[in-house]
Amino acid sequence: MLGLGLSLAFGAYRTPAKSTQRETTFDVVQRARVCTPSQSDVRQVDCAFEVGRSLRFSIAGVGLRDAGIAFMKSDIEGDYYGAMGLEHHCVIIWPGKATAMGQPSRAFDLAFVSPVDGRVYHDWRSCQAAT
């Protein structure tokens, strides 16, 4: 039932672009998020993320107990890369070497995505609370 509610709430939703001089990882991931009803089951919502040039992942069945997360591309040498956080159950996105080059402060410029609601969070504690 949660999947149906999310489907109605998200529709074919893309987060609007935000104009900033220096975007954070959160901003980039938020803008990359596209959530739509599943092609196989309209009661299910799927979210796809194309973050920069080097990170592609998706969440099938957002909010469902058996939701799946697939990484199609993730490259630490590129602009962004990701991994799954086992303790908080969120996808973690970091700036890759191409983005963080010469910017040591970017090492802590992270974003977190919850498979429960498909939303992007600034920190793991907020993301974990959604799970």
Task: For 84-96, write each residue's pLDDT tens digit.
Answer: 999 899 999 999 9
Of all residues in the chain, the percent with pLDDT exceeding 90 is: 64
Contact 82, 57 (CB under 8 A): yes
Contact 14, 33 (CB under 8 A): yes
Question: Full-prediction pTM beyond 0.85?
Answer: no
**What does DSSP assign to residue 103?**
-
Task: For 19-34, write each residue's pLDDT tens digit.
Answer: 445 789 999 999 999 9
Which position has the higher pLDDT, 33 or 2? Answer: 33
Whether 35 shows a pLDDT value over 50: the answer reads yes
